[in-house]
Amino acid sequence: MRFRSFIPSLGMMLLAAGQAGSQGVLIDKSEIRFISRQMGGNVEGRFRRWKANIVFVPKDLGRSKADFDIELGSIDLASDESETEIKRPLWFDTAKFPVAHFASSAIRDLGGDKYEVVGQLTIKGITRDAVVPITLKKDATGNSVAEGNFTLKRLDYRIGEGQWADPETVANDVNVRVRMVLPPLK
């Protein structure tokens, strides 16, 4: 059976919708996407539901933080069969682990409107260190647009166990692309 494998796209852990004290994000203009390879072909997907408590102040990064949750069951693979399969225990096991979580520990300025978000990512009960590079720009309306691209190793989180653990069948590397649009700070 060929189905589209997910490989999480937790990526721009910076910047999603708001709780008290957070900057907020324009969800309708933002996205979390990923591309993986399965049996020689690209598999693209995204998450429909995610949220975060974000504070991002480029001139005071010590106050900045990103706590991010992604509902793994909200994965969109453009296939009902694939979306059902990815929720099973060999993949996400969403019955036991419905949410992936990222908590930043530092945000570093790399110069030239480039930043690194450092923290811990938990998927399927496994926590690993993670670094997410982003580039920050302004759009024509004054919003901040944070874009990032990084590689996630799915096997580090036991995503795709059993027959799917072979990286020749489903690649270990998952390219995660994130675009977050934030309103101006008040």
Backbone angles phi, psi at 98, to 5 degrees: -70, -20
CB 144 within 8 A of CB 138: yes
Q: Please, what are the domains in the chain? A: 27-182 (2.40.128.110)
Residue ranges in the chain assigned as alpha helix (H): 80-86
pTM above 0.85, yes or no: no
φ, ψ (nearest 5 deg) of residue 28: -65, -15
Which two structure tokens, joined as six digits, stand for 82? Answer: 């694939």
d(CA 183, CA 25) in angstroms, rounded, equals 7
CA 122, CA 42: separation in Å to the nearest integer?
Answer: 25
Q: How far is Cα 156 from Cα 48, in angstroms, rounded to an integer?
A: 24
User: Is residue 15 scored above 70 in pLDDT?
Assistant: no
Give residue-wise pLDDT tens across range 34-78.
999 998 899 999 999 988 777 788 889 998 888 889 999 999 999
* pLDDT single digits (tens) 146-183: 999 889 999 999 999 999 999 999 999 999 898 888 88
